[in-house]
A and B are shown apart, each in its own frame.
Chain A
Amino acid sequence: EPEVTQTPSHQVTQMGQEVILRCVPISNHLYFYWYRQILGQKVEFLVSFYNNEISEKSEIFDDQFSVERPDGSNFTLKIRSTKLEDSAMYFCASSDVVRETQYFGPGTRLLVL
């Protein structure tokens, strides 16, 4: 069964450093998403992406965040200058043209020190 994959599974970084989280969505999917879950809190929507542009972004997704689909298979989330409060589990998801169901990857646990 096709699945969404994410790398790395864990990342530790220093405050102020740039990080790139990578995702490989399911191959025939067209809609891509990033969510995050701060420890003990809800899973929160960050951004949705379609046709090489952002469809919607939340208030969390400020100028330090960016997304990109650099090639036909990868979907990345970049955090330009990490803050302590960016420590969270980041989930990538994708859905097909019908968009009925979002399929999630296993997540990347980011720890900012």
Chain B
Amino acid sequence: AQSVTQPDIHITVSEGASLELRCNYSYGATPYLFWYVQSPGQGLQLLLKYFSGDTLVQGIKGFEAEFKRSQSSFNLRKPSVHWSDAAEYFCAVATSGGSNYKLTFGKGTLLTVNP
């Protein structure tokens, strides 16, 4: 069965510092991979996605992620964090069977940004 692991429950960085959030997945076929962000009281907003092609994908708000098949990873990065990036970040893998299509999420990483 597919699974997603986000090893870091909580990360604190200073504003302006770089950020990397880790995500590892387990899925037999080629995965569709996503990062979503959830701000307090908000829904899940899509940051970026990977389906195929270039393994480095760009998303909104200056985020990028790199798919590494050999490491089963899809880590999220940002070169310079802003205070408004404080939120919870979820990595997810899409799995499909026939007409079905569902997301399996990691537990999330809570990001705190210090001024």
Query: Which residues of A pack against B, CB within 8 Å?
Result: 4, 6, 31, 33, 35, 41-45, 48, 50, 55-56, 91, 93, 95, 99-107
- Residue interface mask B35-57, A partner, CB < 8 A = 1: 01000011111100101000000
Contact in complex: B43, A107 (CB < 8 Å): yes
Assembly CA distance A43 to B88 (angstroms): 12
Contact in complex: A42, B100 (CB < 8 Å): no
Contact in complex: B44, A43 (CB < 8 Å): yes
Q: With A42-B105, A42-B107, A43-B105 as known contacts, state yes or no: A55 contacts B100, CB within 8 Å.
A: yes
B32 within 8 A of A: yes
Nearest A residue to B45, CB-CB:
A104
Assembly CA distance A91 to B104 (angstroms): 14
Q: With A50-B99, A95-B101 as known contacts, state yes or no: A42 contacts B108, CB within 8 Å.
A: yes
Query: Which residues of B pack against A, CB within 8 Å?
Result: 32, 34, 36, 41-46, 49, 51, 90, 92, 96-97, 99-108
Query: Which residue of B32, B49, B102 contacts A48 across the interface (Cβ within 8 Å)?
Result: B102
Contact in complex: A105, B103 (CB < 8 Å): no
Q: Which residues of A contact B36 (CB under 8 A)?
A: 104
Contact in complex: B102, A101 (CB < 8 Å): no
Query: Which residue of A4, A43, A106 contacts B90 across the interface (Cβ within 8 Å)?
Result: A43
Nearest B residue to A56, CB-CB:
B100
- How near does chain B come to A6, taking the closest CB pair, in angstroms? 8
Nearest B residue to A35, CB-CB:
B103
Q: With A43-B90, A55-B99, A91-B43 as known contacts, state yes or no: A100 contacts B106, CB within 8 Å.
A: no
- How near does chain B come to A58, taking the closest CB pair, in angstroms? 8
Contact in complex: A45, B102 (CB < 8 Å): yes
Q: Which residues of B contact A43 (CB under 8 A)?
A: 44, 90, 92, 103, 105, 108
Q: With A43-B90, A55-B100 as known contacts, state yes or no: A106 contacts B107, CB within 8 Å.
A: no
Nearest B residue to A105, CB-CB:
B43
